[in-house]
Amino acid sequence: MEVMKMQYKETKETLNQLVADLSQLAMVVHQTHWYMRGTNFLKLHPLMDDWMADLNDQLDEISERLITLDGSPYSTLTEMAEHTKIADEPGDWQKTIPERLTILAKDYRYLAGVYQHGIEVSEVEKDYCTQDIFIGFKTATEKRLWMIQAELDQAPEIDK
């Protein structure tokens, strides 16, 4: 069992980073959902529910994969806050919907980068099952980023 704990070290670290970041991004999306006002509210407000559900599904799969690899996912708000690299901002009624979407685009772009890092480290560590998960979620994240950017009347800018 000790061998298993040492195996896939960087992959497991990346999985746990994603546990913290997916938890934080779900909160940012939730905040967007709560503090949204303005043009496209009726369309975007319910869409945020779908995005939160998607992030929670990713979080569950990432956490379960980490457990499968004999890892221990972060499981407290303190751990999430200490390890996430996604900014935490108080709610603000003054932000426009485009400003909120710009924040989400930045955060989804960061998330795609973490998935890319996971793809690379799982390749080195030859954990192709986890790599498959990373690839699928990176693809979905890039699609979400494209949609956010399109709503902002901007190109996807996937590689930024």
| E strand or H helix that includes residue 3 | helix 2-6
Least confident range from 35-44, 67-76, 111-120, 124-133: namely: 35-44
**Mean pLDDT across the stretch 101-123?**
98
Return all residues near 22 (Cβ < 8 A) that are at least 6 apart: 55, 56, 58, 59, 62, 111
pLDDT at 6: 66
Q: What is the mean pLDDT of residues 105-122?
A: 98
Q: b/e for 69-90, b at 16 or more Cβ within 10 A? A: bebebbeeeeebeeebebeeee
Domains (range + CATH), the chain: 2-151 (1.20.1260.10)
- DSSP line for 33-51: HHH--STTHHHHHHHHHHH
Average pLDDT of the residues in 8-24: 98
- C-beta neighbour count of 121 within 10 angstroms: 21
Instruction: Please choose, from the candidates 25, 5, 31, the residue with its C-alpha nearest in 3D space to the C-alpha of residue 141.
Output: 25
Average pLDDT over residues 84-93: 94
Mean pLDDT lowest among 2-11, 90-99, 145-154:
2-11
Using alpha carbons only, give the angle 113, 11, 8 rounded to the nearest 5 degrees: 165
Answer whether residue 16 shows pLDDT above 60: yes
DSSP letter assigned to residue 86: S
The chain-wide mean pLDDT, for the chain, equals: 94
Confidence check: pLDDT of 3 > 60: no
Q: Could you report the per-residue pLDDT of 22-62, keeping only the tens digit for each?
A: 999 999 999 999 999 998 999 999 999 999 999 999 999 99
Over residues 131-156, the mean pLDDT reads 97
Say if residue 64's pLDDT is above 80.
Answer: yes
